[in-house]
Structure 1
Amino acid sequence: MTYQSFREYVLGAFKIGIGLGVVSILARWVTGNTIFGSPEALVKYGMFGGIGYSLMGAFALIAFGWLGRKVRSEFSGGMTIGDYMRGKLHPFGFWLMIAILFITSIEGMFVQGMAGGVLLNILFGLPIPLGQLLFFVFCVLFAGIGGIRSIHRFAIVQIVITFATTILIPVYFFIGKGVEHVFNGIRLYHPYLLVLNNKEGLLFIVTGMLIGFGQVFVDQATWQRLYMMEDKKVVPTFLLSGLIFATIPLAFSSLVFIVIFSGGFDDIYSLLFDLVRKIDTLFLLVLFVLCSFGAITSAFGANLHSMVSLMVGNVYQLFRPAASERQKIRLSYTLAIAIGAVSIGLTTYFSPTLLDLLLFFGIIYASLFLPVIVIVLTKGKASNFIIISAAVGILSGYVSRAYVDYLKAVWIASASSALVLFAYLCIFGVWRRYRRTTSGS
């Protein structure tokens, strides 16, 4: 696909409105984690697991709309989060942020790559490494080479299929089996899923929202979509996206009830096998396959494209400011292939569950949540101490992981980051007041 400039490869040739903006955001956030991770959360934390997955994305997207309006009013000509951070941070803080963003991007592709390999294994019996290889090759061609035009064209089809899946499959099964029959089966075989005073489930909800805020606020693909929109439509676009997104994890979580109301299960992957076997209508099975593959592909593609855009636009261009548009586009294609190869290597050697991955990298997201808000709200250049507070939180979270579980480690990371940030702001405020007093006297 031919692009005339690197900016066109990153953002497209025109500003998008509310309709395409909502579709593009939902296509980014309806991912393999949404389809496979939300049922896993339901099984592990009961009914609060599915609710937590729903709220963590919904509230974060709504809040980002208000933060994004401030970003656009202050710096409207950017393409990536790196453009904004370069203007707001000193060199040390900027490069530390780039390093963190690189890690979170790899995490996003790693998660979707795992989900893609598992999906192809469930559907076609392909060995997971082979399925991941085929998935990565397709995504590199689709997003890395195809650019933003391919991503947007694919997003429209994906969202239509997603809503058809989340409506038709639950309705088909709950009407066919009977809602009361399903409820009685859950109460008989898995009553713990219906417990209302599940403290661990409630902890997952608030922890999930904390992770969700950090995840959305530093997501490179979301920042790109922010810069694609017309200024006045940023807040309503993200508001609608959040409200609509809230329904999707709940719908996929409800699919778990279809599988387990009649007995037990071995693990989350056996649940997925059983779900596919229970969809006995060819049309619904094809719909579920297309929905799952589309969500995983779209999320991986958005991560890959945004990471390539960041590396070329905010790293390569600093060292080669005279590079031509054609050179930057060619490098984008090369980087897409290289990053895809790295993702294949990672998924070959590591195989945690999707929920474990979310909580593992949730330590990073929880540590970044408050520092990013402070950076955006700071007038002029933000101090390096702000982004250093995020690094302290990340370090504290992973060190504490040796003594506590993931949920508590996430809160330790967030609290450490907040304490360092609060201490800095207090000291800076006292110092500024002292300077005013001495200069006035």
Structure 2
Amino acid sequence: MDLPWVSIGVILALGAAFIVVSWFISKKVSSADSYISSHGRLGVAFGTTALLAFWVTGNTIMAAPEAAYGMGVIGAIAYSFLGGVAVVAFAPLGKRIHQVIPHGRTVGDFYGNRYDRKNYVLFLVLVFAYVFGLLMTQGIGGGLLLEQIFAIPYELAVILTFIIVIAYASMGGFSSVTGIAFFQVILILAVIVVVPPLVYLQTGTAAVYQGMAELAPAQLDLLLPAGIFFMFAGAMFAVGEVFMDNTFWQRAYAVKKEKLVSIFTLAGVGWFVVPLATATLAFVALGTGQAPEQVNQVAPYIATVYGGQFASWVFLVGVWSALASTIAAVLNSLASLFINDVYMPRRPGRTDKHYMRAAQVTTVVIGVIGLVMSLPQLLTMLQMLIFLGVINAAFVFPIVFGLFWKKIGSNAAFAATVLAVIGGYATYFTVGGLQGVVVSGWISFLVCWGWSLARPHQFQWSRLYRVGLDEFALDRSAK
């Protein structure tokens, strides 16, 4: 089979640019702390783009049209609502993080010191499972994108994407990932500025609406029950995803404290626009009767059919940048969590050079595992998000209560998480995916709240405040 070498060349050129920029940035990274995080250094511009570059993922651009294709207008609004609300909701959480654990670096610093060892181990196991699942969605998205538009074989596309991202993400860690994110966001925004308007200039908005009214009238219903349910159930797993994801905790520490609320609010509002714009491509598919082979290919398919070669190039560069930025952020987040919360406590007293080298090796290993897991297309991107949402929802309330309420103890948090995951997945496999997310969230809330009232704990906030200080010896014994 002849390979599309021009298309491969475009990806290689873009990847090479990211790698070169990362190499220059990495020259200024001289400590493990700057590789893992960046305390209070990012202002509004870089702080907002660092958030958008991670949160505008392959799911945002590819799965939003999938939701709109299945649930119509309310599906597009619901997908946009759930992600935007989650980021805005993290703003007060981030402010509280700076108050109670100002010297931390990862979400593990909080969870391992707020609760006992069994909670900490459970959290690490489930957060690693969640992050590898998230890596899979991005790998699948990248493979489908390059295969659909530019005929690059799926397996080659996945391998190409991961190799490039592993190369630049491992060089300078957090500094490289956030530095390149500024340029990636510009490329991502080109998709929503160029592609949907170009497509609608070819089809006409009135023609698309009339076509939907004739071919898919249910998709115009703003009160479609499935869409309304998706909006609120989706918000549950999106909030859980943001709250437990170390990537957001890293950025909460990295931005200037006084700018945190503004940065997260601006990023949440900005994120809302991206999936809403790309989801409108699904309306063209519904209104014209165009149907791709796989529903999660609807956006690139419509971009190619009605936008022509130029739209397909823009879509390639912008969406591949979104995939790359998210994979890079996830790799750095997971590597940082492993080094800070697993490796350092077991290898104390080593040099910064040693820890940085360990972090680079960990990034490469995690990237290779993510690559291998992405090769089989097990689920669509939206299906994978909902599957992982059961885990996300289970941790919302142990984190929220743990940050704001001293009465919640380790046993309450552990019981809430275990029961929520068990109940959530039992419902997921017997009733439905979104129902499983809702059940998980409600169980988590009720157990945290009820147990804490029945057997209140008296946590000392000073314990969290001391985390990260030189004189503080990490102790995750039972409390």
Shift of 1:307: 0.4
Q: State the alpha-carbon separation in 2 of the partners of residues 146 and 293 from structure 1.
A: 21
Give the corresponding residue for 1:105: 131
AA matched with 1:182: V
- Mapped to 1, the partners of 2:290 and 2:145 lie a distance apart of 22
Distance 1:298 1:273, change over 3 A: closer
Q: What is the 5 A alignment of 1:270-349?
A: 271-272=298-299, 274-349=301-376
- Is the deviation greater in 132-141 or in 176-185? 176-185
Distance 1:288 1:273 in 2: 7
- Give the aligned partner of residue 414 of structure 1: 441
Q: CA, structure 1 residues 355+403, in 2 after alignment: closer, same or farther (shift >3 Å)?
A: same
The one-letter code of the counterpart of 2:113 is G
Q: 1:33 to 1:273 in 2, by over 3 A?
A: closer
User: Equivalent residue for 1:198?
Assistant: 224
Q: Does the 8 A contact of 2:79 with 2:275 survive in 1?
A: yes
**Deviations 1:255-307, CA, capped at 9 Å, x for gaps:** 22233322241531553453242254544332211111000111111000010
Q: 1:240 to 1:13 in 2, by over 3 A?
A: closer
What's the offset of the Cα at 1:327?
Answer: 1.0
Residue 7 of structure 1: aligned partner: 33
Q: 1: CA distance between counterparts of 2:210 and 2:341?
A: 56
**How far apart, in 2, do the equivalents of 1:386 and 1:24 lie?**
31
Matched, 1:383 2:402: no
- How many Å separate the matches in 1 of 2:168 and 2:34? 16
Counterpart position of 1:362 = 389
Aligned to 1:52: 78
User: What is the DSSP-based 3-state SS (H/G/I as helix, E as strand, rest coil) of the residue aligned with 2:420?
Assistant: helix
Match of 2:178 in 1: 152
Task: Assess if the C-alpha contact under 8 Å between 1:48 and 1:204 holds in 2.
Answer: no
Counterpart CA distance in 2 for 1:379 and 1:270 is 47
Q: Which moved more, 1:395-404 or 1:317-326?
A: 395-404
Task: Identify the residue that residue 372 of structure 1 maps to in structure 2.
Answer: 399
- In structure 2, what is the equivalent of residue 143 of structure 1? 169
Q: Does 1:23 align with 2:49?
A: yes
Q: C-alpha displacement at 1:381, in angstroms?
A: 8.5
Aligned-residue offset at 1:188 = 1.7
For residue 382 of structure 2, what is the amino acid of its counterpart? L
Q: Distance in 2 between matches of 1:170 and 1:391?
A: 44
Paired AA for residue 154 in structure 2: I
Compare 143-152 and 177-186 and name the one that shifted more: 143-152
With over 3 angstroms needed to count, the CA separation of the structure-2 counterparts of 1:277 and 1:171, relative to structure 1, is closer
> Corresponding residue for 1:393?
420
| 2:89 paired with 1:63 | yes
Counterparts of 1:288 and 1:121 in 2: how far apart (Å)?
Answer: 13
State the distance in 1 between where 2:123 and 2:342 align: 12
Aligned to 2:208: 182
Select which of 58, 61, 68 maps to 1:35: 61
CA contact (8 A) 1:279 1:285 kept: no
Amino acid at match of 1:399: A
Query: Following the alignment from structure 2 to structure 1, what is the Cα–Cα distance between the partners of residues 64 and 109?
Result: 33
CA distance in 2, matches of 1:314, 1:390: 20
Residue 381 and residue 91 in structure 1: after superposition, are their counterparts in 2 closer, same or farther (change >3 A)? farther
Give the distance between the partners of 1:228 and 1:302, measured in 2 at CA.
Answer: 13
276-285 vs 40-49, which moves further: 276-285
Aligned partner of 1:171 among 183, 186, 197: 197
Q: Which of 285, 297, 302 pairs up with 1:259? A: 285
Q: Which amino acid aligns with 1:9?
A: Y
Note the aligned Cα RMSD (angstroms): 2.0
Q: Distance in 2 between matches of 1:318 and 1:145?
A: 23
Q: Describe the shift of the 1:104–1:420 C-alpha distance in structure 2 as closer, same or farther (beyond 3 A).
A: same
Superposed CA offset, 1:211-246 (max 9, x none): 111011111111100000111111111111111111
Partner of 2:268: 242
Q: TM-score of the superposition, structure 1-length normalised? A: 0.93
Contact persistence 1:189–1:264 (CA under 8 A): no
Contact kept in structure 1, 2:401 and 2:408, CA below 8 Å: no
Asked if residue 425 in structure 1 is aligned to residue 467 in structure 2, the reply is no
Q: Which residue of 1 aligns with 2:145?
A: 119
Q: State the distance in 2 between where 1:421 and 1:277 align.
A: 49
Answer whether contact 2:48 2:267 (CA < 8 A) is retained: yes
Moved more, 407-416 or 345-354: 345-354
Q: Percent identity?
A: 27
Measured at CA, do residues 243 and 388 of structure 1 come closer, stay the same or move farther in structure 2, by a change above 3 Å?
A: same
Instruction: Give the aligned partner of residue 438 of structure 1.
Output: none
What is the deviation of 1:364? Answer: 0.7
1:228 pairs with 240, 254, 262, which one?
Answer: 254
Code of the residue aligned with 2:198 in structure 1: it is Y
SS of the residue corresponding to residue 133 of structure 2 reads helix
User: Structure 1 residue 378: deviation in Å?
Assistant: 3.0
1:400 shift after superposition: 2.3
User: When the two structures are aligned, how many residues end up with a matched partner?
Assistant: 431
Q: Is the CA contact 1:89–1:381 (under 8 Å) kept in the aligned structure 2?
A: no
Query: In structure 2, how many angstroms separate the alpha carbons of the residues matched to 1:129 and 1:186?
Result: 35
TM-score by length of 2: 0.86
Please state whether the residue corresponding to 2:375 is helix, strand or coil. helix
Shift of 1:329: 0.8
Write the letter of the residue equivalent to 1:277: T
Mapped partners of 2:379, 2:445: distance in 1:
29
Residue 213 of structure 1 corresponds to which residue in structure 2?
239
- Using the TM superposition, name which of 415-424 and 128-137 deviates more: 415-424
Contact 2:66/2:382 (<8 A) preserved? yes
Work out which of the residue numbers 352, 362, 381 in structure 1 matches 2:379. 352
Aligned to 2:17: none
Q: Distance in 1 between matches of 2:312 and 2:146?
A: 14
The residue type equivalent to 2:387 in the other structure is F
**Cα displacement (A) at 1:123:** 2.8
Q: Per the alignment, in what secondary structure is the counterpart of residue 261 of structure 1?
A: helix
